[in-house]
Amino acid sequence: MIKADSPALLNQAEEMIEWLSSYGRTENNGVTRLLYDEKWQKAQQALKGKMKEAGLAPYFDDTGNLYGRLEGSEKESSVILTGSHIDTVMDGGKYDGAYGIIAGIIALNFLSKQYGQPKKTLEVVSLCEEEGSRFPLTYWGSGNITGLRKKEDIEKAKDTNGIAFNDAMNKAGFGLGQYAETKRNDLSCFIELHVEQGEVLERENKAVGVVSHIVGQRRYNVTITGESNHAGTTPMPYRKDAVSTAAELIHHLTQKAKKTDPAFVATVGRMEVTPNIPNVIAREVTFSIDIRHSEEALLEAFSTSVFDEFKQICEQHQTKIHIENWMKEQPVKMCEKLSAISTAILEKENIPYKVMTSGAGHDSQVFGQYLPTSLLFVPSHKGISHSPFEHTEAADLEKGILLLIKVLHNLAY
């Protein structure tokens, strides 16, 4: 059993997550740490101290990513990287992102104490940004490390107070060439430990999720245009009712999604009705569609056929339809070899696990486009995330860290 060789160090995971959440704690007992803001700066500085205490060599890169390095004996070796992001959504949870950083620090500390210097260099990273909560841009940390993001991406970006992205970055001391070069060509792989942010593991009584794919996703705005009319004087057959059309479309979408594949999801989360008056037949409805799956071909086939069917339904209702696709992200496959290392360990340790897709985006989605990447989940209680009520049991946190230790040991020693 993994539990057998767990030292006192592992019990600190919960305490350290609590400690990190004090940087940006809100009155709801949530956490708000936005890229480059004061709480964010203090959290990164505090983590730098923790890395040092853990026997790691800490350093910033010029974008604000913070690394803790455990040098390998094979000097020319490429670097095995683990970690996650330090930023949060507004009033988010303690675990999202933070867990992966804390787990990485504990794992590297544990490995060096238990096994001494590794052959391969290990680094833990506290990525500066993933959520897109301050500026309308996501994956600023992993995006700069891999080269996905460019300086031009932020030229016009401002936060809700009108502060320019670049000014905020400079004010925090970054983007001025004072720290290490951000783009890296020396990484051999990336391993991210994260809370699931869903309830699949908890419902199925699994301790760990080994992610095979991060799903692709497409988002649409659908606008139905009918005709406003008097709710009393317009017989049903004369109506061009945008609400009843939209209702039929959304019902059809949901039914079709359920039949398509157990892992396929389709969501209508936003809906606006015009003029939105009880006794007036609606002229216009706009609604969002978010569809996700691990196979691009299935996303393509689903959207093609469902939108054909939408058009037929609209014709029957004498309404017009306009479909706008404003997001199209490809699925990203995680590294099979790295997954196999994890599943072998989990089998051996007799820990219940599930090979699954991630329905949410993560930094692993960016790294996975450039280098072998593995994303590992621990359960989220009731699937609650991006909320002060986000919670993962201490025992689950520890199981995840022990798995990370064993994987890193396998790769670096």
Residues near a copy of itself (CB under 8 A)? 196-200, 203, 215, 217, 219, 229-238, 241, 243-244, 246-251, 254, 257-258, 262-271, 273, 275-282, 288, 290, 292, 358-361, 383, 385-386
In whole angstroms, how close is the CB of 73 to a copy of itself at the nearest point?
A: 40
> For a copy of itself, which is the closer residue by CB, 63 or 392?
392
Could you tell me if 82 and 125 are in contact, meaning their C-beta atoms sit under 8 angstroms apart? yes
d(CA 28, CA 34): 17
d(CA 87, CA 78): 27
In whole angstroms, how close is the CB of 136 to a copy of itself at the nearest point?
A: 14
Q: Which residues make Cβ contacts (< 8 Å) with residue 107, sequence separation at least 6?
A: 82, 124, 401, 404, 405, 408
> For a copy of itself, which is the closer residue by CB, 186 or 204?
204
Give the DSSP H/E element, type plus range, for residue 15.
helix 12-21
In whole angstroms, how close is the CB of 343 to a copy of itself at the nearest point?
A: 21
Within 10 A of 72 (CB to CB), how many other CB atoms are there?
19
> For a copy of itself, which is the closer residue by CB, 164 or 298?
298
Question: Residue 98, Cα to own-chain centre: how many angstroms?
Answer: 12
**Which segments of 51-170 are extended strands (E)?**
57-60, 66-70, 79-85, 122-127
> For a copy of itself, which is the closer residue by CB, 221 or 369?
221
> For a copy of itself, which is the closer residue by CB, 289 or 412?
289
> For a copy of itself, which is the closer residue by CB, 154 or 249?
249
In whole angstroms, how close is the CB of 146 to a copy of itself at the nearest point?
A: 22
377: nearest Cα among 145, 187, 95: 95
In whole angstroms, how close is the CB of 232 to a copy of itself at the nearest point?
A: 3
Q: Is the peptide bond before 278 cis (omega within 30 degrees of 0)?
A: no
In whole angstroms, how close is the CB of 321 to a copy of itself at the nearest point?
A: 16
In whole angstroms, how close is the CB of 56 to a copy of itself at the nearest point?
A: 32
Secondary structure class of 356 (helix, strand, coil): strand
> For a copy of itself, which is the closer residue by CB, 164 or 273?
273
Q: Which residues make Cβ contacts (< 8 Å) with residue 302, sequence separation at least 6?
A: 256, 257, 260, 264, 266, 291, 293
> For a copy of itself, which is the closer residue by CB, 216 or 372?
216
Secondary structure class of 192 (helix, strand, coil): strand
Q: Is the peptide bond before 388 cis (omega within 30 degrees of 0)?
A: no
Q: Find the largest Cα–Cα distance for the chain.
A: 84
> For a copy of itself, which is the closer residue by CB, 121 or 365?
365
The tally of CA atoms less than 13 A away on the side-chain side of residue 11 is: 4
In whole angstroms, how close is the CB of 258 to a copy of itself at the nearest point?
A: 5
CA-angle at 398, arms to 395 and 401, nearest 5° = 155
In whole angstroms, how close is the CB of 83 to a copy of itself at the nearest point?
A: 21
